[in-house]
Every structure is written in C-alpha cells, then in structure tokens.
Homo-oligomer: A and B are copies of this chain.
Amino acid sequence: MRQGTKHKIMDSAERLFAERGFSDTSLRLITSHAEVNLASVNYHFGSKKELIQAVLMRYLEAFMPQLDRAMQAHLDSEQAPSLDDIFNAFVEPLLSMNEQRKHGTSLFLLLLGRGYTDSQGHLRKFITHHFGEVLDRFQAAVRRAYPQLTEAEMFWRLHFTLGTVVFTMASSAALRDIANADFNEQVNVETLIRKVIPYLAAGVGAPIQQQ
C-alpha cells in the first residue's frame, strides 16, 4: 500500500470535518473519499468520536511543543515582551503546519473552531487536560507583557482572542472569496494571520475599564 489506511482515513476526515463540521460528515463520506472500507474506521479508531480526537491530536502534538518553546523564550528573556511579540510568536508554529500537510494551517484552525463550536466544551477540556502547562506558560507570558491586567480580565480577553481566530478561520474561505471579489485583494492564510495579530494585541491590550 502506498499509504496506510489509518492515515488515508485521517487525511480525508480532517478535510471533510473542517469543511462540513463533525456531525455533518458521515463515516461513509470519509471512507469513500479515502477509498477504504467503511468498517476500517471502527477497526482502526474504535469509533467516530475517537477518530475526531485522533485528527485533532495529530495537529496539537505538532503545534503545542513549538508554541511552548516560543512562550518559554518570552518568559526567560531579559526584557518583558510586548503583546505584539507574544501573538507574533504564534505565526511560525501555525505556518509550520503547512509544511507537514498541504493547507495544514487552515485545516488546523478550522478543526479547532469546529471542535469548540460543534461539541460544547469538550475540546476545551481535552486541550487543557493534555496541554495545560503550555496554556499556563502562554498566560504567564501575557501577564509579563501586561501586568496590570487582572487574572479574571485576562481570562476573558484571551477567550475573546481565541474566538476571533477560531471564527475567522472557520469562515475564512468564504471571507477570502468576498475580499477577492470586492477589493481585488488576494488573501492567503499567512496574510490573514498577520492581519489579525495587531487586532488581537490591541484588544488584549485595551485599557482596563472599571465597572
């Protein structure tokens, strides 16, 4: 076999999950795209749910260590980082997803978005359980850049940020078409990521309101 059945399933699944969401993607659709037998999903992964986790895990295991190294660097540096620095540290790990798989960056962010909106809160627990220390380090880096921000306020602003990224990517294909048609602007994933970073940094860095 040119490529293992297991990998063929995951490759087809991730593309279809990203396009149509988890519950709108049937195993029959996945297996026909992958040109494998229907039963092989249950044989190799056990269930559809475990296939979804496997697809997400493959990306997270590649992404998280890279992000962690970047956050460590910002924690260890002499000078406190700016929020722009911190969010820019996401760019390289995200773009590196394109190396291991074509359109990897989009697919990864798309899947993240799907995971957060399709199943209510499951993904959050999944990620914090497996990569809690990485997220802690990210949070610590943000605290170093903006110490006046209270813990609670940071919690909310970082979730706003997650929402911005996840939603933008979930609808990025459609939005890019519109941008192309209306402004004759060719936008690829990288330029989109670079567009969103100043927005995020400014949002997280917004002055603190008293209420």
A binding-site residues for B, Cβ under 8 Å: 19-21, 23-24, 113-114, 116-118, 120-121, 124, 151-153, 155-157, 159-168, 170-171, 173-175, 178-179, 182-183, 185, 191-192, 194-196, 198-207, 209, 211
Contacts and interface: CB of A to CB of B under 8 A. Distances in A.
Where chain A touches its partner, the secondary structure class is helix
- Copies of this protein in the assembly total 2
Contacts of A124: 171, 174
A171 B203 contact: no
B167 A191 contact: no
B152 A118 contact: no
A209 B161 CA distance: 19
A167 B171 contact: no
A157 B199 contact: yes
Nearest to A20: B120
Contacts of A179: 152, 155-156
A153 to B, nearest CB: 8
A155 B174 contact: no
Nearest to A114: B117
A202 B206 contact: yes
A200 B198 contact: no
A128 to B, nearest CB: 10
A198 B207 contact: yes
A183 B151 contact: yes
Which of A118, A164, A206 has the most B CB atoms < 10 Å from its CB? A164
